[in-house]
Amino acid sequence: MIGLDLLWLLLPVAAASGWLVGRRAVEPREAPPARGRLGSDYYRGINYLLNEQPDKAIEVFIELLEVDSETAQTHIALGNLYRRRGEVDRAIRIHQNLVSRAGDRSGERHDALLELAQDYLSAGLLDRAENLFLELSEISGYEVQALRQLIDIYEQERDWEKAVRSVRQLERVTGNQLGVVIAHYQCEEAQRLRAAGDAGAALAQARAALASHRGSVRASLLEGELLQASGDIDGALDAFRRVETQDPDYIPVAVPRIEECFRLGGRRGELGAVLERLAEAHGGVTVLLARAKVVAEAEGARAAVDMLAAALRSRSSVRGLDRLVELERQLLRGGREPREAAHLEILSTLTRELLRDRPVYQCSHCGFPARSLHWQCPSCKHWNTVKPIRGVDGE
């Protein structure tokens, strides 16, 4: 505790003679020149520190010390040390003092404002932090850092409109295209509107998200769900089928919705051909299982078993095997093959065991495993990186 507080002793010395010289000057034998200049208040401050009363010491030093270009960075560094130790109140006092004493030295004032905003953020005072970052976002050299912090704050507050505005400003400042992130914010807003019962405004937001990023799978899924709910099944189907061209990795997410629309729209006959084409172009066990269902309905379980077995010969899949065993058991039910039924029972237990509690999705950036689809990785906060897992026990 006292170690950090004693760093205050270096401040006046840095003021008098620069940092390096100052380090030597704290040696007792070189103290006299400092004493003459600093007077009794300085030693009063030291007494407070030695008596472990750092708050009183800080008051004395803040009163005592001039802030100038020599000491400003030391003040900032000390404030930051306090913040990192979780003593945010002290950090705020030091940085506030700097801001008020910086006068017309705008560089120092802005550096101190940036740190003060971080202090407020650490203290959970988001409104105050937001105001300072807004001020800094208009100042050359500080825009990028301030805008990134503002975007973080708006994400925490789920204020998507302000988040979109800040990302657009960041696009202008950096020249980077950030449509992917903007589209996600607009989708978040669409979801909020849908939950509030305003389907029309939600649809408009989903379409705005598509305009921001043509490849937004999430916006297509949202548009499809909203159109389906309004009874526009063909429109919904167009939106869901668009996912294939946007990002084939998400086909497993779109397939159940595509299936449902074909069934709702009375176009079940076309579903088989659509799934077959998807399977040929992209593979994947979700499409395979959807095809097996269509074949089982149209031609019976035996045909579905033959189709599945042929597909699994060229590509192993636990989920495929699980369905195959299930279909075989259906065929055996009521039959006179007790030994075969017992073997299938064992196999079925094994596949269920292998699939139980397995993550279905994984973040391609940090490896975070998930049972449900997250558009923003809960671990690394990247967008669009959590996708269906591929491989023997996945897609």
Q: For residues 131 and 154, what is the distance between their CA atoms, to the nearest angstrom?
A: 12
Q: Which residue lies nearer to Zn ion by CB, 281 or 380?
A: 380
- The closest alpha carbon to 261, from 210, 227, 295, belongs to 227
Q: How far is 233 from 266, CA to CA, in rounded Å?
A: 10
CB of 368 to Zn ion, least distance (A): 4
Q: How far apart are alpha carbons 165 and 155 in whole angstroms?
A: 12
The residue among 145 and 379 lying less far from Zn ion, judged by its C-beta, is 379
Residue 376 Cβ vs Zn ion, minimum distance, rounded to whole Å = 9
Q: Which is nearer to Zn ion, 168 or 365 (CB)?
A: 365
> Distance (Å, rounded) from C-alpha 388 to C-alpha 395?
7
Contact 375, 384 (CB under 8 A): yes
Closest to Zn ion by CB, 267 vs 365, is 365
Backbone φ and ψ for 255, nearest 5 degrees, come out as: -55, -45
Judged by CB, which is closer to Zn ion: 253, or 363? Answer: 363
Least separation, in Å, of the C-beta of 215 and Zn ion? 19
Q: Give DSSP secondary structure letters for 64-82.
A: HPPP-TTTHHHHHHHHHHH
333 vs 371 by CB, closer to Zn ion = 371
CB of 390: closest distance to Zn ion in angstroms? 17
Nearest to 237 by CA among 249, 252, 220, 250: 220
- State phi, psi for 383 to the nearest 5 degrees: -95, 145
Please, what is the minimum distance in Å from the beta carbon of residue 344 to Zn ion? 39
Return the biggest CA–CA distance within the chain: 107
Q: Where along the sequence are the contacts to Zn ion (CB under 5 A)?
A: 363, 365-366, 368, 377, 379-380
Residue closer to Zn ion, measured from CB, 19 or 375: 375
Judged by CB, which is closer to Zn ion: 181, or 363? 363
Q: CA–CA separation, 300 vs 129, rounded Å? A: 65
CB of 375 to Zn ion, least distance (A): 12
Q: How many CB atoms lie within 10 A of CB 63?
A: 10
3 state DSSP class of 284: coil
Least CB distance to Zn ion at residue 362 (A): 9
| Shortest CB 144 distance to Zn ion, Å | 23
Name residues whose C-beta falls within 8 Å of residue 59's C-beta, 6 or more positions apart in sequence: none
Tokens standing for residue 90: 């002290």
